[in-house]
Amino acid sequence: MARTTQIKKYLIEQFSLEIQPEELADDYDLLAGGVIDSLGLLTLVSWLEDTYGLDVDVLDVAPDNFRSVAAIDAFCDAAAAAGAAGSAETAATGAHQP
């Protein structure tokens, strides 16, 4: 299953949207549309961490990173790449990152 579809299914279930995943446009503004509020954002971040094994830095929790399904998907790509780069750097230097 594509990650965007999985994200859409989570949003629909978690926030009680009465639509099908294919009806939720990738660029629909989830914040302006009232789908996600500040508590919902924290819930979404926690789900992303658990589901995709991401380590989200509190500084990355900016509204624009979660404004749409497309933005969330791009955020997951960036967070995964940052996590992989951090792991590679730690392995190369033998240093432990706090």
What would the pLDDT profile of 50-74 be if each residue is shown by its tens digit? 999 998 888 788 999 999 999 999 9
Q: How confident is the model at residue 94 (pLDDT cuts 50, 70, 90)?
A: low
Question: Which of 10, 57, 55 is CA-nearest to residue 35?
Answer: 10
91 pLDDT more than 90: no
pTM as predicted: 0.82
Structure confidence at residue 84 (pLDDT): 74
